[in-house]
A and B are shown apart, each in its own frame.
Chain A
Amino acid sequence: MIKIYIDDKPYSVEPNQTIMQAADSLGFRIPRLCYHPKLSIEGACRVCIVEVEGMKNYVASCSFPVHDGIKVRTNTEELRRARRDIVELILDNHPQDCHTCERDSNCELQRLANSMGLRHRHFEGERKHFHKDISSDAVIHDPDKCILCGRCVRVCSEIQNVHNLGYAFRGFKTVVMPAFDLPFSESVCTTCGQCINVCPTASFVEKSYTQELFVKLQDKSLVKIAQIAPSVRAAIGEAFGLPVGTNMEAETTAALRRLGFDYVFDTQFSADLTIMEEASELLERIQGKGKLPMITSCSSAWMKCLEQFYPDLLDNVSTCKSPMSMMSALTKTYFAEKMKLDPKKILNVGVMCCTAKKYEAARPELNVDDMRATDIVVTTRETAWMIKSAGIDLLHIKGEPFDEPLGFSSGAGTIFGATGGVMEAAIRTAYELYTGETMVNIEFSELRGMKGIKEASVIIDGKEIRVAVAHGLGNAWKLLDTIRSDPKRYHFIEIMGCPGGCVGGGGQPYAGINSIPLDEDNLRKRANALYKLDRDKTIRRSNENPDVQRLYREYLGRPLSPLSHKLLHTHYHAKEPRGIISAELKVR
């Protein structure tokens, strides 16, 4: 321990940390902007400056280490003024359109300006102007709102290892963009949306489909069907000020009906279905029909990442569609036939925690009978906004159950939203399908939690099945590198594109005043909400879901049947050349 002084009072702290870390541990919160504890130190914004006795200039507390006897002042009048000027200069080159900005009241820069006490504007200078990139189905980039904190660049490279974003040009003209100023749609962007989660302003946002959806919800000729992803219910409450990890399943269902949906189904039902198909596929592969290890395919960002960077592993990936796409395929076939509806008149809306699902929905491979399977995808954030905008009181609404026959789910379907959940759910069912016996202990603590790569093994009928789980594309890359060198190491691998799995999706509510993006405690709380739902259910194995059983009995036949293959499975293509630059652009 060393002795340091902050604002003239002595404290005893651990050595080998920065001033900011030491101050944080003592109950200070030095203002900050570009700093994020999960990312490397950038020191770009200078908002976190402090005075250190003996130093000529103010130092950035995020990068300056403490030493024995250091005397730090965090709140002198001069320092406050300097900090306020820094924030004011950042604002000077930022559009003054807060009132019409979609992050109004949810913006870190706005909150910072407020806490700095900025009440007048002293500077009025030249403003930068770049083109807004709306080419992607999922992620919109408006560089005019960028303050160059670099969090997006760092999350894209350090957490996701995608390296799509970088700084280009210099000085006043510096701008964040993909290589060669490629449009996002043609860049290696996996549409995971983590840049949106960490962006302090509205420079990165999802492509919004809310207006289009509001119009379609009024269309009486359409049958409007919503499906809710597991993680949405565990997070949407945050957008309404509820504590992190509040389960809002029944309330969200009721709110969606008030919004104008005719049916509200549960993506957890099709998660159970995914497990039936995926576990059956795994057993086939273990018996020699197909490549091992098998890798999950639910995560859309992972899907795009795979096609760009891992063309050699295409055959290892399960052919199962994601639960969302399975559900959409079923509503336009099975459900339409059952209810005597014209599938062309069905509007399928995915209420998702994910931005990449917008990209997935537009993939032509997923069309059903030449119709788009999922017509619109809205994120948790968009859904929360729509509920507020329509004047629906989510906090006091009486909860309602999902519609039948695609609304009942087992606990296994619920935990899909947390990293390791798909694996846990698959093992529960694979064990039974293979041995015919019921598994007694169905909770796998080694597959739960926020560790980047998790491993476990189960004995199924005397045979050891080795499994591994990775969340975040950077962790996926580490794990997949090990199987390139040792292909026999695992039988089954779960990969989720976002840190924490879907609970940490790119479409989840923004961090509030008391939290930061990517915060593990928050991710854990959301995951725990799902694990609690699972524990409270009597049916916790996908194969015991009576509605899934009925679907097979009445319609699909059995897992991996020809009809299952037609409706519930898909295929992937390597994106040449390895997704670095599209062939089309090369000709240009």
Chain B
Amino acid sequence: MAQKEELSKIVGSKNILDDPDSLEQYSKDMSFIEPRKPSYITKPRSSNQVQKLVKLASEELIPLTPVSSPGGPRFHGDTIPYPGGVVVDLSNIDRILRVDRRNKTVHIEPGVTFEQLRSELRKSGLKPFMPLMPRQTKSVLTSYLERDPILSPRHHWDTLDPIYTVEVIYGTGDAFRTGSAAGPGNTEELITAGASLSAPMGPGPTDYVRLIQGAQGTMGIVTWAVCACCLLPTIQRPYFVTSAEMESLIEYMYALLRRRLGDELFLINNFVLANAVADKPEDIKSIATDLPPWIVFLNIAGYEKFPEERVAYQEEDATEFAKQHKCKLLHSVNGVSSSELLKRLEEPSKDVYWKLRFKGGCEAIFFLTTLNKVPEFIDYVYKTAVSYGYATTELGVYVQPIVQGTSCHLEFDLMYNPEDVREREKVKRLYLHLSEGLAKLEAFYTRPYGAWSNIAYGRDAQTTMLLRKIKNIFDPNDILNPGKLCF
């Protein structure tokens, strides 16, 4: 009770939840990780309140778990709190503080969602960098901080992108601004002077923001971020690219990536495409059956200056490379149009999150590798799935080149019915088996959720030891999301 009073003094009693339903809701997500109930859920409304919460937690050794998305479903286990800890739900801190058209940046708070952002940016002729059909309730800031890959590899220069700078509250309760937002002076003064707050480096000889990204809230709680935006295209030409051989599609992607042709560019299997475009869940299987097994999606955009010419030369070059690599550029495949997919990609998933449409549940395995190794991984996953009696026709595959093609995000989506206990158990076993096996094939879990953290950190003792020491600097009392990663 004393703790509740302390918390109330900071956020106000109306912004504390401890009813059984709320505690139940925040105790779990759709991952296979066992639920753990917090003691309270707090809903601060300002950075100042967040800072006070962290200071209190640091003094009283209260584990905090930050959450930014204004609703689920959540999937990775990173928001499941420490038993008896406190959830810091930042979703009410949800303003778009500033849109800077000239420097193509936007200054956002944690609770801002993709649809909210998209609508606001349109007014300035901009759009956000989108991951693959995020759910309606997904926090933009969380998506970027957690390294959700964006669809446009040519605009992904570095792992950090599209995050530029952040304000973070460290586990000590200290506030810190990273990169060129650090100073001199406060952010208002910097903006008045003409700053864009868009240089992620520093201040000085440390990239503080890199210690925050991917940290699942264990290094600090971000209260705002300045992020990159893209120009809103004036014309777009979406294509599907198909080939008899997956290897041809990969070589084709390499050719485009090297020359920075196209904007959105990724590879999916027929099942993912079907999930994306089907009007009704019951249509998914039949749509998938009619599609080629592998499809590259390529969108070529024109902007303000000579958009037609910009698109024309890229189409010409893309077509030429398609010929060289025995691929075909198509506007539709078996009744599914590329424009339809593009429309879906520009917005968050309508209604139900796309991964849940088929059976209501999905466990994704994803990691980083390089494009040329993708076939090997797919081969392994498919064979293993078959050995578990899992139908590969119901397995989603998504390959997203990142950092301009130097690596890629490779994702396998295992669909299952969460109400079916046996099926859930089977998929869980398959998921764990695959997670281990993929690591042995050199999959790199850059986002080590749940079981992956032991796998990833177990393979790199030196990094683990150093990270623990670094964590001790920014969160000496280990109050920020304890039990996650290697902490």
A, B from the same assembly: no
User: Which residues of B pack against A, CB within 8 Å?
Assistant: none
User: Which residues of A pack against B, CB within 8 Å?
Assistant: none
